[in-house]
Structure 1
């Protein structure tokens, strides 16, 4: 047997650096040392959430555990939770719906700052009118284009104020596939004709973002946000939820892997290059082959409450916070007392009839594409 090299750069590395020690013999999944935060996240921070469908779970669990998740557009008093969520309330920090691509988030900020006007901003269906940038937040549409435009102006004002005051932006990257207005480059969250509007191939085209485009969009977004909020930090995740359908010529499986690989690559590089950007591996926890099959529902797309729970438990523990289902917590005595009080408050809220449950309905426009699978 050959002697073990005495000057290998791998010598002395911790167990987490090796597959056998870091995964096979970790003793639990996900391994407790999988994530080492770059900067602390605490309950005092004002947190702005956005992204694709999986981001809805992130915001919900943070709220349940006493974090200060911004809610700039609260539901009308007395509106049941299920109805509120169908109208875009209590899902993210604002009623912008799912933000599947970085370009979409960049557009939203630019529009809020008066630097961008989307093409075809209002879509029509059966005499009702919809905001093309968030067509799912008013399921029945509004009575006139003017009402849509007025509601959007109010929405943009609220979004800009939140972004200017937030301490942390939690952004879940979801897709590289999108639909683009050919003449102006405007990106939409859904294909025209899926919820409202009409698809015209002379007006709209399929767009599948490359890695360099995603990175350029995030850097432009970050620069614009830092100009109005220099202290803002970013926590990136990648959604583990596969594509419902692809408009590319690929099979949906490699199309999904392409999309997630691009987003994971870009998110990782951004975290390496910027001190104010961190990456949390929710994608790896759910989608890697050591993960239990129980992390996905029978449709092999939707993440189960167990999967969401494991992801968020690791995130909270990494920041010295126990989940609302646990009595354990880190920190000194004063911190522990504060956290216990917050946990008890969260538990009381969860016992109320309108509190989000572990398997809260997730609003995903892209799931509507399944209706075209005939």
Structure 2
């Protein structure tokens, strides 16, 4: 008896390996996916700008990085504690002066620009189609930084506007660079559940049209997996909004099965087994059995060193062995 509606993920005509550089950007789910890849030893730059929920702002910072442009001077803001932030960037970017913050932003933009020169896969997670417009200069912004709501107007982004924005960006990328789009399974209940569905519908249509229009663009159905295949509140955290650790693991398994090469999936299994060996904690460190365990762990790591970067783990084991 089947107790769930399984969501199929169409395989691609290309696959990710441990030699594939991956860049993730977007909502908090982009960071979740990026960290899962990092934990499995893939070369990844994960959400370097912090959480960005709406597609317009994601495209804006990517274009800023590609063009080497400076952040908009009119969007710096200082709070009552004297801390500076920028409305186009996450609140984790802050400074004691506008100059200090500008330096941090430019460093990150330069780092992203450099990584984008070589990265082969761009994974983008759209969270919401709602955005805030700054009344002062009518700019669409990524973060309000707890500025009084009266300084902004909330609006729903139009599908046509987003398609044009993202079409321009995708055309600027090399056709050899693959783009995986997905809609975040996190529900934005502050918009109300009804309007959250409207927002997700705009995002889903955007992904669909872009994947139809551009051969290097694909769609991964993380939202559908959460809403249909994992349609049960036991797959949510206590807030009933965010997917639980188990749900994140199951969604990543779907991603791996469809997009990661068979050889790299085998390497992932081997690495996960070695991680359990590394995590083993004996009652006494100097017993012969533990030394034998460390030696076996070192041998496994040396075997894996041909496929993934485990230099740090090898050094740690050698230090425990006293070699």
TM-score, reference length from structure 1: 0.67
Alignment match, 2:144: 191
Task: Note the C-alpha offset of 1:315.
Answer: 1.2
Measure, in 2, the Cα distance between the counterparts of 1:188 and 1:39: 35
CA 1:127–1:179: 2 relative to 1, 3 Å: same
Match of 2:83 among 128, 132, 140: 128
For the 8 Å contact 2:182–2:222, the answer to whether it is kept is yes
Change (3 A) 1:129 1:237: same
Please report how far the alpha carbon of residue 258 of structure 1 lies from its aligned counterpart in structure 2 after TM superposition: 0.4
Question: 1:216 and 2:175 equivalent?
Answer: no
Tell me what 1:268 maps to.
208
Identify the residue that residue 182 of structure 2 maps to in structure 1. Answer: 237
1:312 to 242, 246, 252: 252
What is the aligned partner in structure 1 of residue 299 from structure 2? none
1:43-122 equivalences under 5 Å are: 43-70=18-45, 92-94=46-48, 96-112=49-65, 113-115=67-69, 117-118=71-72, 120-122=74-76
CA deviations over 1:161-205 (Å, ceiling 9, x no partner): 11222100000111111112346553222225x2xx45554xx32
Deviation at 1:282, TM superposition (A): 0.6
Q: Give deviations 1:83-122, integer Å, cap 9, x for gaps.
A: xxxxxxxxx242x111212211221133221457425332
Aligned length: 279
Question: Could you say if the C-alpha distance between residues 45 and 345 of structure 1 is closer, same or farther in structure 2, counting changes exceeding 3 Å?
Answer: farther
Could you tell me which runs of 5 or more consecutive residues in structure 2 were left unpaired when the two chains were aligned: 282-323
Q: Distance in 1 between matches of 2:10 and 2:214?
A: 17
Q: Secondary structure at the match of 1:245?
A: helix
CA contact (8 A) 1:66 1:346 kept: no
1:254 maps to 194
> Which of the numbers 144, 150, 156 marks the counterpart of 2:97?
144
**Cα shift readout 1:265-305 (whole Å, capped 9, x = no counterpart):** 11122112221011111100101276233122232201111
Counterpart Cα distance in 2 of 1:267 and 1:167: 19
CA shift, 1:134, in A, is 2.3
Deviates more, 1:232-241 or 1:285-294: 285-294
| 2: CA distance, partners of 1:297 / 1:311 | 15
1:336 CA displacement:
7.3
Work out whether residues 68 and 110 of structure 2, in 8 Å CA contact, stay in contact via their aligned partners in 1.
Answer: no
More helix per residue: 1 or 2? Answer: 2
Q: Any residues of structure 2 matched to 1:290-369 within 5 Å, and which? A: 291-319=231-259, 330-331=262-263, 338-344=267-273
* Residue equivalent to 1:156: 109
The normalised TM-score by structure 2 is: 0.76
**Take 1:58 and 1:178, find their aligned partners in 2: how far apart are those partners?**
23
> How much does 1:350 deviate?
7.3
Q: Please, which runs of 5 or more residues in structure 1 have no aligned partner?
A: 1-24, 71-91, 247-251, 322-329, 353-374
Q: Is the 8 A contact 1:38 1:278 kept in 2?
A: no
Would the aligned equivalents of 1:173 and 1:237 in 2 still touch at CA under 8 Å?
yes
Which range moved further: 129-138 or 104-113?
129-138
Q: Which residue of 2 aligns with 1:355?
A: none
